[in-house]
Chain A
Amino acid sequence: SQQGEEDPQALSIQEGENATMNCSYKTSINNLQWYRQNSGRGLVHLILIRSNEREKHSGRLRVTLDTSKKSSSLLITASRAADTASYFCAPGEYGNKLVFGAGTILRVKS
């Protein structure tokens, strides 16, 4: 299984600003998912985008997928202190396993 690689490793922004995180992967996928992890807790699923979709929205989240470049981005608009967390992408192959990268640590300063 392949691993998603998130970039940047860490991001620090002011409340109200937008946060953009990127993910790259290596082979064909069925879908790509983004998860959030608050400090010391389990991961929570945020959004899933299928391989035939280019963009998806959920509240303040916007995910794009470019299968030709094998990359995805997660945009959080109008960030809040509560968005402080680690964010992981998980490329999903044609099966049930997901492989998570090391994540992007987002810190939103109030």
Chain B
Amino acid sequence: DVKVTQSSRYLVKRTGEKVFLECVQDMDHENMFWYRQDPGLGLRLIYFSYDVKMKEKGDIPEGYSVSREKKERFSLILESASTNQTSMYLCASSPERLAKNIQYFGAGTRLSVL
């Protein structure tokens, strides 16, 4: 079974802190994604990566950056956390097969910025 592991289930940080959210997948997937989920807004794509050291902006990249130094790990970085970044963050991965781009999700990290 595919496993996508997010490093923390719950995280509390202070405004202005630098925050790292880590995601690791064990299926050698090429593609990895970071979403945030807010009530009534569904999932919104922050960044995605289709290869090591490659990244592309999603729909809401402002205030975030990402790092993919190894194929299995995709990190989301909040350079200076703000209260409006309080949200549920979901990581996902998918294989490089265009006809069957099923995404496998981690359990999520609920981040509170105080």
Contacts and interface: CB of A to CB of B under 8 A. Distances in A.
Which DSSP category, helix, strand, loop or mixed, fits chain A's interface? loop
Contacts of A43: 43, 90, 92, 103, 105
B50 A31 contact: no
A104 to B, nearest CB: 11
B101 interface: yes
A69 interface: no
Contacts of B35: 100
Interface stretch (B14-22, B64-72, B76-84, B106-114): B106-114
Q: How large is the interface on B (under 10, 10 to 19, 20 to 34, 35 or more residues)?
A: 20 to 34
A99 B101 CA distance: 12
Contact of A97 (B45, B102, B104, B105): B45
Interface residues of A, number: 27
Nearest to B96: A96
A60 interface: no
A48 interface: yes
Contacts of A96: 31, 48, 50, 94, 96, 98, 101
A100 B45 CA distance: 9
A33 interface: yes
7 contacts: A31-B100, A43-B92, A48-B102, A50-B99, A98-B103, A99-B45, A102-B40
Interface of B: 4, 31, 33, 35, 40-43, 45, 48, 50, 58-59, 88, 90, 92, 94, 96, 98-108, 110
Interface of A: 1, 3, 30-31, 33, 35, 40-45, 48, 50, 88, 90, 92, 94-103
